[in-house]
Structure formats: C-alpha cells, structure tokens
Amino acid sequence: MPIRPIVRYPDPRLALEAEPVDVFDDALRALAADLLETMHAAPGIGITAPHIGVPLRVVVLELDASEGPLTYINPQIIRTSPEMILHKEGSVSMPGVTDEVERHARVRIRYQDLDGNMQTEESDGLRAVCHQHEIDQLDGVFWIRRLSRLKRERLVKRFEKMSRT
C-alpha cells in the first residue's frame, strides 16, 4: 500500500472526466488501499483516483475515525435537497488553500462497493459536501470552479505564491 504522488493543480488531468470502473478485483482493492494511505499522508478527508493520476471513478472518504474509511465506486448523485449550505473546502491537489463553497445540504448517491454491489446512501452536512466535492472531481470539475471568478483568481495566485516558497 504505497503512498502515491498527488497530481497538483493546475495539472490538466484534474479537468478530465474519470472512466467508470467495470472490473472489481484485487487491483481495484489495492488502488483503494493506496488512495487511503495517500489521503492520510496528504493529509485529507477525501481523495479520488484522478488525484493520483488514475482516471477511474473511485472515491475514498474518512470523515470519522470510529467509522473508518468508505470507498465509493462509480458514485453518482441521484437526488439533491433544495436547501443549500456553505462549507469550507480544499483539495489534496491544492494544499494550503481553502474557501467556502455553496453546496446542497443533503444528497442521495448511488454507487458500487468494492465487490460491485449497488448501494445507495443519503447524507447531509459534511458528508454531503464531500460527496458533491469528490463526484465533481470525478466529473473533471475542480472545486475552485464553484467559486466566483474573482475568488478563484485570488486563490490561484495565493497557491502559486505558496508553491514558489
């Protein structure tokens, strides 16, 4: 379970739509384990396969140590609440930079587990934010695209300055 190099913003691979997973095998389980180790080392609470340069629809989240890590294969949002919330977001691909993003307060997702079994999950609060954030990344939508142009430009400049030092 090696820690993999993280693709850094503005790498164009972060803007590509990830491919669906159609083989549920030991290689997929190894990828999920690598994602978990890489996320812990970053550190972060969520990571996708595209964050390590693998263009597959795989997400690993760990929001609560007592619950442990959760792996979502081919996740998709199937329902959203009309209520919206603001939550501070960031990315392992753009460390040290965060801002508030408006997201749906509640979502229902459909996904497959590591064995290929179809699952659904309803979430709210931080988990709903993470589901939307990571599924956006799988769709090639980096989180800062959810900000106004002015905020986005300021964050990019701040990140570039931090990266130089």
134 in active site: yes
Q: List the catalytic residue out of 17, 37, 134, 153.
A: 134
User: What string of DSSP letters covers 55-106?
Assistant: -B-EEEE-S-TTT--EEEEEEEEEEE-S-EEEEEE--TTSTT--EEEEEESE
CA 35 to CA 68: how far, in whole Å? 14
Whether the CA torsion 24, 26, 31, 36 is positive or negative: it is: positive
Torsional class of 147: left (φ above 0), alpha (ψ -120 to 50), beta (otherwise): beta
Active-site residue list: 134
